[in-house]
Amino acid sequence: TKAGDDGIMLWHAGEGWFVGPAANLGQARGRVSVIDGCLRPEASTVTWDVQDGTAFVNAPELRCLAGDALAAEIAKAAPQIALVGPTPQNLLASKLGVFLKRGELVNGYPSYTKAGDDGIMLWHAGEGWFVGPAANLGQARGRVS
């Protein structure tokens, strides 16, 4: 299951690994795939393919990470970030600013707290990043997305 999105899954079927909707679980089809008889997706040495809407295209830089490689990639997240720029009619401008990295991952991704306002957070859920109240942490909803 994709962290933060129970509707997207990764599974093995037939001769390959597939990523796609949970409804396709166990079938040899998905939106992202690698046809490789490996026991673990991170062990694949074959190029992954991604569906472009009508056909599959090679994604030679796409790879699956696990263990130390995954931890190293997550550790690259900046210790602080700034969400800046104008919003239409200055909407939610008070939610923008500097965010400090938290020690806790949310849905498998780094998460952040707004500097000076612990009640506002930034996190990843589903297919995007969200800014909103701490009460919404981890959910695919927020005030800015």
**pLDDT(144) > 80:** no
- What pLDDT is recorded for position 35? 95
pLDDT in tens, 71-115: 899 999 999 999 999 999 988 989 999 999 999 999 989 999 999
Express as a percent the part of the chain with pLDDT over 70: 95
43-82 core/surface letters (b: 16 or more CB in 10 A; e: else): ebeeebbeeeeeeeeeeeeeebeeeeeeeeeeeeeeeeee
- What pLDDT is recorded for position 3? 61
SS3 117: strand
pTM above 0.85, yes or no: no
Arithmetic mean of pLDDT, 35-55: 94
Give Cβ neighbours of residue 12 (< 8 Å, ≥ 6 apart): 18, 41
Task: Give residue for tokens 């990295």.
Answer: 101
Give Cβ neighbours of residue 62 (< 8 Å, ≥ 6 apart): 32, 47, 48, 50
What are the backbone dihedrals phi and psi of residue 62, each rounded to the nearest 5 degrees, phi first? -75, 140
**pLDDT(127) > 70:** yes
Express as a percent the part of the chain with pLDDT over 90: 77
**pLDDT(4) > 70:** no
**pLDDT(68) > 90:** yes
Arithmetic mean of pLDDT, 11-17: 95
CA distance 62 to 133: 33
- What pLDDT is recorded for position 2? 61
**pLDDT(39) > 90:** yes
Average pLDDT, whole number, for the chain? 91
Task: Give residue for tokens 């490689």.
Answer: 69
